Chain A
């Protein structure tokens, strides 16, 4: 799953979608995930990064990550 090419993500977690004109904000973990997706990282790589660097259990992260991706899909910010 990749972030669509024309989606702009700022350093502070501000997201702009030029197609719809919608803007979004991200929290720290959301911003991290979006940046890693922009860099072309896979879901597995993102998961390992979080488990190693954040205080989170595997199942909790998997659950949250999957829900977050669904939201990105719902907002039309990602493509397969």
Chain B
């Protein structure tokens, strides 16, 4: 019996004369056939296509890299896991088992943290939307309430009048750190004196314990310098409080916003080559605190709420090619079974997408579309992509942050999420949705039945 040759879809490519582009000759696209030693084809066979896959090993490794970067430069460091980045209980539990507290931004997230076994005194409660009931609960549990606006401050003062416990509060401070856009919608402004005014009101009220200062200067910060500016300004506020009231601030919370290694749309170079490392962020922040006028014998604890940079690398989306077709201009388009409904971050990033099995060096300029009947459903506008066929598998890297919280149930149902534990065993940590998952929440009035 003769062995048949490997088949590849026939293509013809026009040669364009001229200078090479900035990247020169493109090497053959690498393949990713396994995640943490588990074959992607096995994952799809067992859990369906598409499927989210999360690597526990990568989460723990990344967390410990970040922790080492800060704790080797500063005496007291505490991470708090940013629930909104990925609040799957299994993911939260991994971070908590590493010692991370919980950072929540709504009553829903607060209750999730409590259900995950996190005591109130290890929860940082951020965000502009904390209901009266949320605040009462947080005061009773001893959570750290990060005040966002004066209405919240006054609401909490009135709660403090009747509560047996004194609220533990920090204020969120927004400021000019030299970056654009300036995030001034959250918290109290530093430059116009609003933050200092809020601190005075808290101290003079004598009804609350001012324990911290918080800021969150932006997202996907591609340079560490603004963190140094922010840390200096918070340190200056802490020193002023100490001078005026003889009151030591217990912690300075630098929020999150560290970039992951994804490439933003329109970026000239890949994110993995340009985004700062944890060490660079840590160097900027800790230097600013250490060089400030803070009392060296009572340095405040440094809190960090980084989310994206801790979880993005641990997430993968695996799926299947649905079809190939030609657009009117001759460009190839490839339709895959993952759309923007479950890969929300494709609006921001040029996601890395790879074949799962060996491919030749031939590739075509390709637009990758999701399966939705919507024109906006584009995963990659243009990518030189190998000649995958219908039913071939692919994998998308670095999707652990935000996709599993900002996803939409739209047109298709959300798939299984699979965790690969540190021993290489797979576990479903969120079951795929069924029609029942959705219709169970619907009600049809009797006259329409």
Interface size on A, residues (CB 8 A): 31
Across chains A and B, the number of contacting residue pairs, with CB separation under 8 Å, is 69
Q: A80 near B: Cβ within 8 Å? A: no
Q: Does residue B12 face the partner (Cβ distance < 8 Å to A)? A: yes
CB nearest neighbor in A for B360: A27
Contacting pair B389 A29 (CB below 8 A): no
Query: Any chain B CB within 8 A of the CB of A8?
Result: no
Interface check A60, CB cutoff 8 A: yes
Interface size on B, residues (CB 8 A): 20
Contact with B along A19-37 (1 / 0, CB 8 A): 0001111111110111000
- The verdict on A50 contacting B7 (CB below 8 Å), with A27-B362, A60-B390, A70-B326 known, is yes
Q: Is the interface of A mostly helix, strand, loop or mixed?
A: helix
B181 touches A (CB below 8 Å): no
Say whether B117 faces chain A, with CB atoms less than 8 Å apart: no
Per-residue A-contact encoding for B57-90, CB less than 8 Å = 1, 0 else: 0000000000000000000000000000000000
* Given A30-B10, A54-B7, A55-B4: A74 and B15 interface contact (C-beta under 8 Å): no
> Chain B binding site: helix, strand, loop or mixed by DSSP?
loop
Query: In the complex, what distance in Å separates the CA atom of A15 from the CA atom of B13?
Result: 10
Q: Would you give the shortest CB distance from B362 to chain A, in whole angstroms?
A: 4
In the complex, how many angstroms separate the beta carbon of A22 from the nearest chain B beta carbon?
A: 6
Any A CB within 8 A of the CB of B45: no
A59 nearest CB across to chain B (Å)? 10
Contacts of A53 in B (CB 8 A): 4-5
Q: Contact at B9–A29, with CB atoms within 8 Å? A: yes
**Nearest A residue to B5, CB-CB:** A54
Give chain B interface residues in 1-30, CB to chain A under 8 Å. Answer: 4-15
Q: Which of B330, B362, B387 sits near A74, CB closer than 8 Å?
A: B330
B8 and A29 form a contact (CB under 8 A):
yes
Residues of A within 8 A of B389 (CB): 60
Measured between beta carbons, the chain A residues less than 8 angstroms from B362 are 27
Assess whether B8 is in contact with A28, with CB atoms less than 8 Å apart: yes
CB A6 to nearest CB in B, in angstroms, measures 17
Residue numbers of A with Cβ under 8 A of B are 15, 22-30, 32-34, 50, 52-56, 60-61, 64-65, 67-68, 70-72, 74-75, 77
Residue contacts A-B, CB under 8 angstroms, 7 given: A23-B15, A27-B11, A54-B4, A54-B7, A55-B4, A72-B12, A75-B14
| Partner-A contacts on B (CB < 8 A) | 4-15, 324, 326, 330, 360, 362, 387, 389-390
Closest 3 CB pairs of A and B: A30-B10, A56-B7, A54-B7
